[in-house]
Structure 1
């Protein structure tokens, strides 16, 4: 039987701009989720979204670390090309100290034009900035007296203090396209899988990842495999979609439609049904039995050892997201222990 850990992913979006309530509620929910058996928490970074996606993930993770006892926390992901690697390394070290060595640093190249424009970064440089940034961050976190002369950043005899707990903080690298997956195999410790692929697509991408790992002297069996999914569990399938459908539709039409190829979901009375068809083999939405079946399909495809679920979406009441986490903990998670 498949066995894997469960974690929670947060984006803290509020179309009504009720962030003053949402942020503390999210931290409180993380504390409750840990008591239910969730063992990790991750936060993604985005900037200047109208509904206020987390622009400072390290601050949010610090609050979650303070509210939980043994949880792993991680950025999933930080848009590394937007940042100075020195700052990224310093924040990683502090979060590792706050969690007793349970921090994971997830990074990606980013894709939103407005974020690169706002930070004054040429988007055409993002791959080179990511590669250089990962190399420098890793060296700063594992070595002392680092000297590095790169295209974008240079340091001389630099030692980041305080030092992290872990000898090597794991670096997760996100990506969907084959070049990005190969980059994760060669440059990162973990491939951070997007929440969009079907099991069939994941089988193909697993093959790409496995082949790339072998070129670097590694095997699929020895790497950590986390799967992030949009999730919502309720008493039955119809209740789940009645409660989460509109919030999911808003997110995947407005934010992700361009990279999912879901333009048809943007408007019209059939939009929710289109989303439901799209989500059938991509998300974890429905009754406990439905979600268990979906998770089994994903495990058959990718053999993940951790699932990070996002149950709170823009416009959804936090109490609904909390209920979904509780039902998953009580009626889904025991099946995979």
Structure 2
């Protein structure tokens, strides 16, 4: 499998249109595979789908992903329309990844949902998939319904819809309903087990997921893992040494990516733990240190 490594931006990275546009232009120029934007209301970055649209208009090659967009609490018909529009404007370059809930607890009440979060997620994702693939969609679910709806413009090819998450229910959902998986906060051994759980769920549902549709989001530290608190990650994974999840420096990042690759993963989103002093310098180092792994 060919490895593909993209760059993720964080909640406190540049939001100024001029600076954001310069980052996008530089990624396109130096051959970065993909750019990923988080879904955070209180973050400095643009909304991921709006930011993707802005970046798509400035580039011709750079792939653009949402990492991740929370689906429950959003209108699935509107989401399908937004994705179809983006896919028509930037064919083969839009990489939507959906999640079940926002990372920060204070933002979850901003997106009220009509039922249990997992049930709402399953139904919304099913409807989005139907709207992106079929015409005259009639759907009657527990939480959503539509009659004879056709979303246009039609994508030139079906969009691959990926999911995040790492719990047993999330992994089964990937196998049942999604086209790929972008995990986070897992060791390589755990990621390998996650892939096998997804494959088992997909086989049980009578479907398959492409071998190269398994990935991992990585936070990279450049001042050492002991130099930062990583409080949220420590609370999420108190059972694991942070150094096993957060590589320190480029050499450790390369080594960890190779371990994930050995476990069956081939897509990666790399984000610095703190905004770099110079994003241009960071991107140039990223290209020199990590892009050779793609060859």
Cα deviation 1:248-302 (Å, max 9, x = unaligned) = 63xx32x54442338xxxxxxxxxxxxxx9442212321x43332222122122x
CA distance in 2, matches of 1:223, 1:317: 30
1:289 to 251, 254, 258: 251
1:241 aligned counterpart, secondary structure: coil
The structure where helix makes up a greater share of residues is 1
Go from structure 1 to structure 2 and tell me whether the alpha carbon gap of 1:285 and 1:31 turns closer, same or farther (over 3 Å shift). farther
Go from structure 1 to structure 2 and tell me whether the alpha carbon gap of 1:175 and 1:53 turns closer, same or farther (over 3 Å shift). farther
**Radius of gyration: which is bigger?**
1
Q: Does 1:40 align with 2:2?
A: no
Go from structure 1 to structure 2 and tell me whether the alpha carbon gap of 1:83 and 1:220 turns closer, same or farther (over 3 Å shift). closer
1:207 to 196, 219, 226: 196
Gaps of 5+ in 2: none
Gaps of 5+ in 1: 233-239, 263-276
Cα deviation 1:69-102 (Å, max 9, x = unaligned) = 1122122211100100011001101111221232
How far did residue 312 of structure 1 move?
6.2
How far did residue 4 of structure 1 move?
0.7
Contact preservation (8 Å) 1:5, 1:38: no
Contact preservation (8 Å) 2:175, 2:200: no
Go from structure 1 to structure 2 and tell me whether the alpha carbon gap of 1:279 and 1:64 turns closer, same or farther (over 3 Å shift). farther
Q: TM-score, normalised by structure 1?
A: 0.78
Q: Does 1:259 align with 2:241?
A: no
Q: How many residues align?
A: 294
1:178 to 145, 168, 176: 168
After superposition, where does 1:161-310 map in structure 2 within 5 Å?
161-166=152-157, 168-194=158-184, 196-218=185-207, 222-232=211-221, 240-241=222-223, 249=229, 252-253=230-231, 255-261=232-238, 278-286=241-249, 288-301=250-263, 303-310=264-271
CA distance in 1, matches of 2:70, 2:138: 24
Please give the root-mean-square deviation of Cα atoms over the aligned residues, in Å. 2.6
CA distance in 1, matches of 2:123, 2:4: 32
Contact preservation (8 Å) 1:45, 1:53: no
